[in-house]
Amino acid sequence: MEDPTSIMWPLFQGRTCLPTSYNITGTCTLGGYPSYAVNASNVAQIQLAVNFARNLNLRLVVKNTGHDFNGKSSGAGALSIWTHHLKSLSYIPEYSDSTYSGPAVKMGAGIQAYEVYEFANAYGISVVGGEGKTVGVAGGYFLGGGHSPLGSVYGLAADQVVAMEVVLPNGVFTT
């Protein structure tokens, strides 16, 4: 979804801006939307946003595509970090660490399922991702476990992660 704050579920938006035929006398307010959004295009911007929110005691939420139907990527009055445009993809033919050796894909937080599927297909490999092609794979999908049509063969998508680069609540970038 090409919107820094909107999600695909009106319940978590406060149900305040429904079509007028639904409630003619109703008003449209900000509801559950964040008050501010950062369109992050690099790690430094994410670090600045995390530090800003922490220093000002603002609620902080992270949104990629808006497929979160549990309301975690929305928040009234929050500062939202929109990761949708972090679109890097790279193929690592011989990844190796203490628990895994073999091919791997490194993806930015904004990569959607159809993008990584097309990329992986070009290299003749499989990637565990959601059935919905616009789901953000490296965002809440992994963090929620990552159920998939390939789950009976490969397990949850979260089981396939070999490393993550993250910005911690203290603003530190780590792997």
Location of structure tokens 């790279």: 90
94/135: higher pLDDT? 94
Q: What is the pLDDT of residue 14?
A: 60
Question: Domains in the chain, please, with CATH?
Answer: 10-82 (3.30.43.10), 89-169 (no CATH)
Strands 173-174 and 166-167 come out as antiparallel
The amino acid occupying position 72 is K
Strands 173-174 and 101-107 come out as unpaired
pLDDT tops 60 at residue 20 = no
Structure confidence at residue 158 as a pLDDT band (50, 70, 90): very high
E runs forming strands in the chain: 36-39, 60-63, 79-82, 89-96, 101-107, 166-167, 173-174
Distance between CA atoms of residues 60 and 36, nearest Å: 10
Distance between CA atoms of residues 158 and 30, nearest Å: 34
Which residues make Cβ contacts (< 8 Å) with residue 102, sequence separation at least 6?
Answer: 94, 95
Q: What is the pLDDT of residue 165?
A: 95
Among 12-16, 33-37, 80-84, the minimum mean pLDDT is found in 12-16
pLDDT tens-digit series, residues 36-93: 999 999 999 999 999 999 999 999 999 988 777 666 777 888 999 999 999 999 999 9
pLDDT tops 60 at residue 22 = no
pLDDT tens-digit series, residues 62-78: 998 877 766 677 788 89
pTM assigned to the model? 0.83
Distance between CA atoms of residues 13 and 16, nearest Å: 7
